[in-house]
Structure 1
């Protein structure tokens, strides 16, 4: 853990372990009064990929069916919409493939889409192949395996379409297991895009987020893989709203962005380098579809309002003030970033307990979460410092740290 010293705020005191384990008093900053936008953003399209909250009394062991606390789960989405952000639903942030099974994801898509319609909120939903395990198609008859993957995608796209949401074609573990080369990826995606009734967002999730997606698009070289994706976009231009790249590689994202056909958006999924990519420069900018935007929603909203007002320096400064937090939340092993998002939501009162489907709350260490508190405090993202101090103290007591041990 990187020690950051004792907080100099004037808010409540919480006793935190330092880098060497020594306990020290930390003063949280007072709550920052983040403004809410009065009109939709017009300079960028921005989605926050939201997490899910389980029922606190449910069996949340790995492999157990997901049982969601719908009030808390949907309430968090209303929080995001109230800040002017769109919701990217049923994505990896919501633990697709890490505890959230397809029946629960389908219900989540239906419920969230209905809630979005009720408040005029923007929503896009992930369609994948969850119900097909990679082992079912790996080494199987190639034509049959690809047909199985394609059919699974089609079924999920139907659910998203019927819910009235924009589809996000998620990267598929099953396709990664079944595909022999780039042509197999072209075949599956061309079929899906040619049948699409609404423009989709194509999602390329890197192996840092999911090791089972290594070599996606048929190439280990990311630039060769990007050429396959670009060819698909050019061929099916009218069926693609944009693409989301989640590779934590800003140079590659910019390289692809500059080669996109006019009118096709680049949605950054780079939770390390989002300030530079979203604000942009003379070479252009990316829109946003980010897990970190769920964790920093008030600051993200403030920055987007600044961009709308032409204040690029202010927008960049606001996003940059959260960058250390973002890089910490998404530190390796990156696929456990969801734990930090849920922990911060719990500290801010968006869910009753620090629990996650599949027991994923154990995915980060106590020192990691302590540093998350320090960084969130420094960024003004503990919106109720008294509640955060109380909950953090109780968390540390249960961990055997602090006055309660």
Structure 2
């Protein structure tokens, strides 16, 4: 039953470039974010973070749920679908339109919130990345063609150029608008390189297919709705912090969460490796085998979380040296966030089995629960407890969208994480057997 932990060599070698690229970019991004936070201070860092968070909310309209549907269609090539180049052209057009809509909504939202202030000008510059993000459609094609190294190199080069410009902005004391331009520039470089590579490897230009576009949008609305709710759930306290406490507090809160966001990589990678292996392993298998796989997946998630605990301790100790005394309040919030990655791991593991069981509406239900709890508690606690109330609202919202939602609506998931340690002896036996075979 532990077979899915021993990932196939072909899959791992093919995707390892993407995984290394993700880890590398996350590390570089964290270091540069620390430099930006130290130089510009909590207020300007808070304004930048607020715009980024608002952009991620409206970014749901920029992706239109096609990050999941597009690669699947290109891989399957069903008889009622056009060629891959026609799919690419169609998705590029749709995502470009969605990106322009998202940009318009972001700029209007920030203007209504703050008026003609520096934050609005940050949004005007930074928000341009939303239509440029349509170039991710090239990524779909390259993934299907197994050109993972090209994707990794492109994204790494773009990230390095953007990071270099951000560092120069800090060194020479340029205004925060320069940081916004660097962030947008990363997507512009991605777009240019991806476009050239596509032309080089797949000479055909493709054409826009109206019927396929309609088909895509008809299938994507659930994903868009779910994405909106999930983003609202994870971002709602930022909006209320700004309303009740001001920009400085937004910057403090963003710094505390930013340092933990690197750890969000672990559940993402775990689920990325888990899904294809499990899809093969439990296809047509009896229900008992499905539950055992669920238990083993949660057990693996627990072990990864335990392995992250020493890293979190180091983060808490190193935080004041990295961010400086301006972020003392953020430092006080960190110990309360130690439980946060566990909820992320629960969500990642459950998400794999949700896909395998075709329960596509369930993430929306769970996120709605989390959003309701987060919003009500943030509204009540932030005016009374400040940023501690925001952390409490965030964690209890995550608890509601994982543990509580499973207790009410997805008992198999609930039973699996509750009983996952029953697989310990089985897992230990498999590991011993594997080591013996390796040494023998």
What is the TM-score when the length of structure 2 is the normalising length? 0.28
Q: Which has the higher helix share?
A: 2
Give 1 or 2 for the bigger CA radius of gyration.
Answer: 2
